Structure 1
Amino acid sequence: MAENDRREHMRTAMSAKVKVVHESLGEFIFSTRDISDGGVFIVVDVEPFAPQIGDRVTVQVQGLPVPAPVLDMVVVRKTNDGYGLQFDQNGD
């Protein structure tokens, strides 16, 4: 990893559709770019989705033969093409 890369977990490229629900912004479907033991990066291009760092969301993988679990996550990073979400260890 680069010297200025503060990531704790190795990223794995993964494209999947996920439903992201934000309490005040609503429900959205996005694609993932990568996933790690710590979280996931969602690609946001034209959707009006603009959460603040620290906002809590729920995320659920879509398109599986059975419903995936709904995971609590926190917005931890914003880039030009999306958001980094971290698994919420508190789960409250």
Structure 2
Amino acid sequence: MSKEKRKHIRTPFACRIKIVHDSIGELLVKTRDISDGGVFVVLEPEQIPPVGTVVAGQVQGLMDDAPVLQMEVVRVEPVGVGLRFVHDD
């Protein structure tokens, strides 16, 4: 039986995202993959915020006024973090 908990299929996708949080400042990072539920971003180990941290994120370079989204750190790996889109339902 698979231990896979993901609800959404991940798609390899590389773009730049600006993420902002008081603990890490403002960073321009690269994505590794994306799904309907979130995105994985590549970070240096010293830049990785702890699980549960909510950051603001905005795609860069694809459109002039991309929306700013709230995203929660849900998974930490040596090369980056998995971010879940936070929805205001």
Length-normalised TM-score, structure 1: 0.88
More divergent stretch after superposition (2-11 vs 15-24): 2-11
Which aligned pairs between 1:1-92 and structure 2 lie closer than 5 A? 3-45=2-44, 48-90=46-88
Aligned length: 89
Identical aligned residues as a percent: 46
Which structure 2 segments of 5+ residues have no match?
none
For 2:57 and 2:16, how far apart are their aligned partners in 1? Answer: 10
State the shift of 1:80 in Å: 1.2
| Residue type at the aligned position of 1:68 | A
Give the TM-score, by structure 2 length.
Answer: 0.90
In structure 1, stretches of 5+ residues that fail to align are none
What's the secondary structure of 2:47's corresponding residue? Answer: coil
2-structure distance, mates of 1:53, 1:61 = 21
Query: Which contiguous aligned blocks of 4+ residues in structure 1 show a shift greater than 6 angstroms?
Result: none
Shift of 1:50: 2.4
Shift of 1:89: 2.1
